[in-house]
């Protein structure tokens, strides 16, 4: 006989119990060192206004400094006046504008691929590509430091995910050889890793992909506009554009907008367009975002001096931080992490910088290993030498105070 429990008297776990028991953020807030969800009330330039106070921004992905560029802002405003504020539907149905097509054609040419497909966000691009291409009998090989969008794309797919040690090509070959059965294989890696700042070893990845019959997806979110003579990212940096099957990029970094894109052969894009659920069932990016991206793309193509300036700044900062004694890991790019250690110490270090007017990002687990919590800094082509002098002086003082250097 079934036992009936009266309301409120059940032994079952409440779905929301996990929410009530989560209080770590409250502890950090009460300690006055909570670094997240800080409202900015100005344009995202080299300086920003936070709670009425001006701060020097070294925590943005605005690598070429185009978010505040007058040409980009005017293009976005003009597109809004012409097309309205949104598309009210998905690309699959009523949400395709002529400028969406123009952007995809321009991006395909830029990446030297046959065709490109724009998604509503970069996260959705990885989610939509991996989940629709990797089937139940397929394998996907991922770097342990890959972005969360690749991780979640793997979770949504019906294939088997096999991880390899970060940027360890011996380990990649090990997992490939151990899973070398008759199955479709995809190697998915970040071009530039968003926390570490190092570059994927694409030449070795290409060699191993050919040896074991795998395809390659490169997430170039932090590479486009930054790496390569023309800013085309990791594949151009290594001169492997013809050897990489799919290139993904986001518009929220160098393109000064929002959205994402995948570029590949025509048959691959056509398949994605008709089977990718995140594409088919999401509203398309608004006209302002498309126009901003188109204008930023033109600037990337015609103003290489921005990239040159960005690298001059980044090279200097890496050299100076190293000479001070900071552990900056294996970074090779404008993303420069400063490894502090455990999370509370990292939060306190972040707060000291914030009090000195320096805006950075504190990264803790799961974004990084628990004993490798860090202050993530990143630089823009529009930063001045004087601003970098101030950053270095502040970090040296703070690093000594906390015994990091």
pLDDT of the residue at 201: 98
Q: Is 181 a catalytic residue?
A: no
Whether 374 is covered by a domain: the verdict is yes
pTM above 0.85, yes or no: yes
pLDDT of the residue at 371: 87
Whether 15 is covered by a domain: the verdict is no
Q: What is the tally of structural domains in the chain?
A: 2
Based on the domain organization, do 286 and 367 belong to the same domain? no
Last residue of a domain, which of 246, 274, 302? Answer: 302
> What are the residue ranges in the chain where pLDDT is below 70?
1-11
pLDDT of the residue at 7: 55
Based on the domain organization, do 183 and 236 belong to the same domain? yes
Based on the domain organization, do 327 and 227 belong to the same domain? no
DSSP annotation string for 352-381: HHHHTTEE-EEE-TTTS-TT-EEEEEE--T
Based on the domain organization, do 152 and 265 belong to the same domain? yes
Neighbour count for residue 182 (Cβ, 10 Å): 6
CA angle 202, 310, 189 (to 5 degrees): 20
Last residue of a domain, which of 259, 279, 302? Answer: 302
pLDDT of the residue at 3: 44
Tally the residues of the chain: 405
Residue 401 in tokens: 């105070």
Residue 117 Rama label (left phi>0; alpha psi -120 to 50; beta): beta
Q: Is 194 a catalytic residue?
A: yes
Last residue of a domain, which of 236, 268, 302? Answer: 302
Q: Which of 113, 115, 147, 222 is catalytic?
A: 222
Q: Which of 253, 276, 348, 383 is catalytic?
A: 253
Based on the domain organization, do 95 and 239 belong to the same domain? yes
What is the domain extent for residue 356?
Answer: 30-59+304-401
Q: What is the CATH number of the domain that holds 243?
A: 3.40.640.10
Based on the domain organization, do 248 and 258 belong to the same domain? yes
pLDDT of the residue at 154: 97
Whether 19 is covered by a domain: the verdict is no
Q: What is the CATH number of the domain that holds 315?
A: 3.90.1150.10
Q: Is 165 a catalytic residue?
A: no
pLDDT of the residue at 10: 58
Based on the domain organization, do 250 and 394 belong to the same domain? no
Q: Which of 194, 257, 284, 289 is catalytic?
A: 194
């Amino acid at each position: 006989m079934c036992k009936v429990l009266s309301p409120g008297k059940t032994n079952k776990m409440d779905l929301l119990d996990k929410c009530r028991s989560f209080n770590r953020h409250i502890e950090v807030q009460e300690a006055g060192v909570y670094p997240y969800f800080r409202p900015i009330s100005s344009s995202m330039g080299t300086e920003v206004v936070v709670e009425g106070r001006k701060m020097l921004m070294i925590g943005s992905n605005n690598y070429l400094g185009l978010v505040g560029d007058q040409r980009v802002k005017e293009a976005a405003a003009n597109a809004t006046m012409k097309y309205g504020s949104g598309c009210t539907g998905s690309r699959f149905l009523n949400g395709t504008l002529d400028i969406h097509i123009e952007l995809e054609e321009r991006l395909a040419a830029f990446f030297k691929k046959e065709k490109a497909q724009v998604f509503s966000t970069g996260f959705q691009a990885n989610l939509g590509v991996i989940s629709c291409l990797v089937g139940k009998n397929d394998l996907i090989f991922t770097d342990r430091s890959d972005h969360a969008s690749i991780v979640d794309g793997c979770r949504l797919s019906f294939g088997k995910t096999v991880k390899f040690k970060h940027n360890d090509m011996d380990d990649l070959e090990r997992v490939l050889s151990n899973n070398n059965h008759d199955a479709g294989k995809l190697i998915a890696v970040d071009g530039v890793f968003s926390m570490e700042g190092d570059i994927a070893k694409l030449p070795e990845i290409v060699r191993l992909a050919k040896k074991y019959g795998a395809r390659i997806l490169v997430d170039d979110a932090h590479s486009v506009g930054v790496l390569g003579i023309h800013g085309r990212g990791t594949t151009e940096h290594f001169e492997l554009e013809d050897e990489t099957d799919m290139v993904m990029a986001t518009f929220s970094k160098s393109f000064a907008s929002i959205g994402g894109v995948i570029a590949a052969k025509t048959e691959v894009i056509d398949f994605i367009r008709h089977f990718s659920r995140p594409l088919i069932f999401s509203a398309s990016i608004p006209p302002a975002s498309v126009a901003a991206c188109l204008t930023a793309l033109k600037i990337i193509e015609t103003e290489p001096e921005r990239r040159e300036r960005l690298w001059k700044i980044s090279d200097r900062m890496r050299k100076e931080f190293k000479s001070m004694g900071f552990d900056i890991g294996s970074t090779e790019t404008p993303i420069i992490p400063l490894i502090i250690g455990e999370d509370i110490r990292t939060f306190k270090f972040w707060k000291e910088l914030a009090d000195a007017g320096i805006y950075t990002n504190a990264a803790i687990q799961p974004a990084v290993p628990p004993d490798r919590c860090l202050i993530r800094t990143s630089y823009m082509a529009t930063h001045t030498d004087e601003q970098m002098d101030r950053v270095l002086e502040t970090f040296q003082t703070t690093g000594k105070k906390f015994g990091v250097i």
